[in-house]
Chains A and B, each alone.
Chain A
């Protein structure tokens, strides 16, 4: 069993490649007087990887927080599966099959690995208030899913705070892969990882795409993005700076844009070398 199998099993069977899962039309977000994001048009299609690139403070996180239900957008429209909605909580996003790997991983350090894996989506033996958790089953599944990612924790009962940063990242990814049926959002999933582990994550991104999921891949590494992306969006200061399909853009262009684009050219003239 590999992660690819998990993805194939858990992917919604009704996904057809190319159908829009999430669409934002002129979406924006203000925090008080500060407009963190404005006028973003983005489509997340089934079976495609949409890469969102940008410098720190470009609005990447704000954009994914809107799509994952952590923040409500304050302008524009958000469509999920073709219907206009406002996501009021991450629970609602999960119910639409949208799972997110957050940059800060969203784990509770003092809780056991398996409890973290199932947190918010626990398996219970009934719907009544005191219904017992299916503890044994949850431990088994969590262990299996982590093994598929090549992680063997010493004890599935140990607090997740005792794992290394890379291991915690893998738990967060395994959890999203397990619960995300339609859309997978990954916020800088390779940031805490070494070269080899990054490669593994990129393979999962590709595998999720092949399983028919829509993937949103946030990164500031254009090389990683270009390896898997079908569509590229570069954000700069809260607006779209570039929006291209894979066929219309080269890695050089992406890298240049990410490095500062025209500003860089200007700078090189000023420095005169």
Chain B
């Protein structure tokens, strides 16, 4: 049987003035990168006053270069962390990428371009494997990528020693393609007295791209959703597995990119390097306001986090202090950032009135 029910118009909102526009302080404070920006300004002013050689355009661009070498991978690590996962293999994959390219071409006499593409495919495959294993098994990404981290670290050293008999890769500067690849990954140009490394431009490009993707595209929506509440995301039709695997592959892609830079800048690589850098990427992301548990953060914040890293690592040298203090300083920054993040998260979920 059927009976028609008249639905009365939904009760009109009793107070149309109920809607408020939030005060600008609230809106600004709830943005993830604000804490990092304030910290960056303080640190910048501090080194300006403490280190005389810090006060020049040259050293500013050296800081930017230093920041970009960490910042490029940190962008991807930030996206991955917003998506709720970790990648501890991000530090060594940089060197894996470089070593595969270098030794493949040296051993088989291939053009470096071919080697670079093979290396790219190899790195993407590792990223895919990380993501696939995490999604298939449900084991936390911390453990899966801890595994790949050790495998890559060992293989980097082991294979390099097998091929060359030492722990550094051979000189590849005479193989075809070295100059053209160098132009893309590790060239620099002068503006007056200032040397601008091309990685700085690449870094800005990747940050802009990531910022666009996160806030303005469907993929960005999905990244926040799979990090914030994966089960809910799946229930409303978000392809959770594809999104997360894509994020792992983004990390390995940008890892490969920096690996190319390192290889074509120095033409030889130390196979044991890269260990520990994964934590620098994570620190940059967290200092930049990325929530460790996922679902919150943004690309500009991560870039500021990397910039803080660049400033302090060089600022301590410019100021003439013992560089060993650098890590202690980073630790303090991380703790402060975590506290600020906690406060901001509370603020952004509790602001009910303007």
| Chain A residues within 8 Å of B, Cβ to Cβ | 2-4, 47-48, 68, 70, 89-91, 94, 100, 102, 104-111, 115, 118-122, 124, 129-133, 135, 147-150, 152-155, 158-159, 161-162, 175, 200, 203-204, 206-207, 209-210, 228, 230, 246-247
Contacts and interface: CB of A to CB of B under 8 A. Distances in A.
A180 B13 CA distance: 25
A230 B2 contact: yes
Contacts of B219: 129
A75 B216 CA distance: 43
A115 B234 contact: no
B296 A110 contact: yes
6 contacts: A2-B8, A94-B236, A107-B232, A120-B237, A122-B218, A203-B7
Contacts of B233: 108, 119-120
Interface string B1-27: 110110111111100101111100000
Contacts of B291: 110
Interface in B191-218: 212-213, 216-218
Contacts of B238: 91, 119-120
Q: How large is the interface on B (under 10, 10 to 19, 20 to 34, 35 or more residues)?
A: 35 or more
A98 to B, nearest CB: 11
Given A2-B7, A91-B239, A120-B233, A162 B217 contact: no
Contacts of A70: 234-235
B226 to A, nearest CB: 9
A89 B229 contact: no
B225 interface: yes
A135 B216 contact: yes
A108 B232 contact: yes
Nearest to B352: A162
Given A2-B7, A108-B229, 13 more contacts: A89-B234, A90-B234, A106-B232, A108-B224, A108-B232, A108-B233, A111-B225, A120-B233, A149-B10, A154-B20, A162-B349, A162-B350, A206-B4
B98 interface: no
Nearest to B238: A120
Q: Is the interface of B mostly helix, strand, loop or mixed?
A: loop
Contacts of B180: none
Nearest to B353: A154
A90 B237 contact: yes
A133 B7 contact: no
A149 B224 CA distance: 27
Contacts of B239: 89, 91
Nearest to A115: B221
Given A4-B7, A106-B231, A155 B236 contact: no
A203 B8 contact: yes
A191 B40 CA distance: 48
A130 B7 contact: no
A119 to B, nearest CB: 5
A150 B11 CA distance: 5
Contacts of A105: 232
A35 B231 CA distance: 23
Contacts of B19: 152-155
A89 B237 contact: yes
Contacts of A2: 7-10
B348 interface: yes
Given A119-B233, A162-B349, A47 B18 contact: no
Contacts of B97: none
B232 to A, nearest CB: 4
B161 interface: no
